[in-house]
Amino acid sequence: MRIYVIRRLLLLPVTVLLLSILVFGVIRLVPGSVVDARLNNTMGASGGADPEQRAALEAHFGLDKPVHVQYVNWIGQVVTGDFGTSWLTREPILETFGRRLPVTAELLLLTLAFYIPIGIGTGVWSAVRRNRPDDYGIRFITILFLAIPNFWLATLVILIPLILWSYALPSPYAQLWNDPGTNLVQMIVPAAVVALSGAAVLGRLARSEMLEVLRQDYVRTAYAKGLSGRVVVLRHALRNAMIPLITLIGLVFADGIAGSVIVEQIFGLPGMGRLLVESILSNDLPVVQLWMLFFGTAFVLVNLLVDLSYGVLDPRIRVQ
């Protein structure tokens, strides 16, 4: 098990380094820059830009240096804990993240709280009740939520109560430590919206994996020994079906981040997803770069935990 862990830990810094290069390169391919935005704001869309003023702004933001020098300077600052300042607000990026991150973290935790029980629970129930009316009902509902985009479902969740009952979610955003009741009302609905489509995918996978496991000889042997159906399903069948499910649960982190970008914008939540949209629209490259590196690294760590969990669930994987 020790070698299994060491191998995956050694891959972590290499993966993060390649991720940082990819993030930096992709950002540099985006058309426009903060210099163009500043010049447009100063002179208007039709005004001519002074070459000396443009050169001064590029030097101020470090854009006059070669790309590889810009990358080395940026990654060196990140490694030493200097995350830079926003080009737009001139505020330290770390302070901005400190205000926005708790909102998205709470949204992700609530998303997982819906996603895992609903996905695995419906999948297991559907497999155990195969070809019965409740199985057909669950399969219909999962297909329905697979077909509904998050942004459309979020819009319906806002508009239908507003039109039918003149009810809208509380506004503006209330912090959890200031007003827990209002905060949970504001966050539960967006979390459910993000979780439902992912739970539908997890439920279908759980059903197919459980059906395959329930056909195995050791499951029939467990039933023949007189074990109760609950013990056979939960202790024997579900554990052996969990490895592909754990993989998908790890991927929900990426789905949650992508969903938060849309859902936070629709529900007016001041989280990291909304910060990304605001930073892209204002060409605030330092914030966008650090945002992508931060969540990319977090996704790598989540997948590392998923890999390590394989060794816990299946001892045969530890020697590979």
Band the pLDDT of 237: cuts 50, 70, 90. confident
**CATH class of the 93-319 domain in this structure:** mainly alpha
Query: Looking at residue 263, what is its pLDDT?
Result: 85
Instruction: Calculate what percentage of the chain has a pLDDT beyond 70.
Output: 85
Mean pLDDT for all residues in the chain: 78
Q: How far apart are CA 84 and CA 266, in angstroms?
A: 29
Band the pLDDT of 37: cuts 50, 70, 90. low
Task: Work out the average pLDDT over 45-59.
Answer: 62
pTM: 0.76
Task: Work out the average pLDDT over 14-35.
Answer: 78
Query: Looking at residue 1, what is its pLDDT?
Result: 60
Task: Work out the average pLDDT over 133-150.
Answer: 84
pLDDT over 60 at 128, yes or no: yes
Minimum mean pLDDT among 54-68, 73-87, 256-270: which range? 54-68
- Looking at per-residue pLDDT, the higher value among 269 and 50 belongs to 269
Task: Work out the average pLDDT over 14-43.
Answer: 72
Query: Looking at residue 46, what is its pLDDT?
Result: 43
pLDDT over 80 at 57, yes or no: no
The answer to whether 288 and 175 have CB atoms below 8 angstroms apart is no
Q: How far apart are CA 253 and CA 302, in angstroms?
A: 8
User: In the 8-state DSSP scheme, what is residue 233?
Assistant: I
Q: How far apart are CA 61 and CA 190, in angstroms?
A: 37
Query: In this predicted model, what pLDDT tens digit does every residue of 83-115 receive, in sequence order?
Result: 878 877 788 888 888 888 888 888 888 888 888
pLDDT over 70 at 38, yes or no: no
Phi/psi for 162 (5° steps) reads: -70, -40
Q: How far apart are CA 155 and CA 162, in angstroms?
A: 11
- Looking at per-residue pLDDT, the higher value among 240 and 120 belongs to 120
pLDDT over 60 at 286, yes or no: yes
Residues in CB range of 22: below 8 A, 6 or more apart = none
Q: Where do we find the tokens 């609950």?
A: 230
User: Do you find a cis peptide bond into 172, omega within 30 degrees of 0?
Assistant: yes
Buried b (16+ CB within 10 A) or exposed e, 84-93: bbbbbeeeeb
Domain boundaries, the chain: 36-82, 93-319
Q: How many CB atoms lie within 10 A of CB 132?
A: 11
Minimum mean pLDDT among 2-6, 192-196, 300-304: which range? 2-6
Q: Minimal CA–CA distance to 258: which of 184, 96, 149, 156?
A: 149
Band the pLDDT of 299: cuts 50, 70, 90. confident
Band the pLDDT of 177: cuts 50, 70, 90. confident
The answer to whether 89 and 96 have CB atoms below 8 angstroms apart is yes
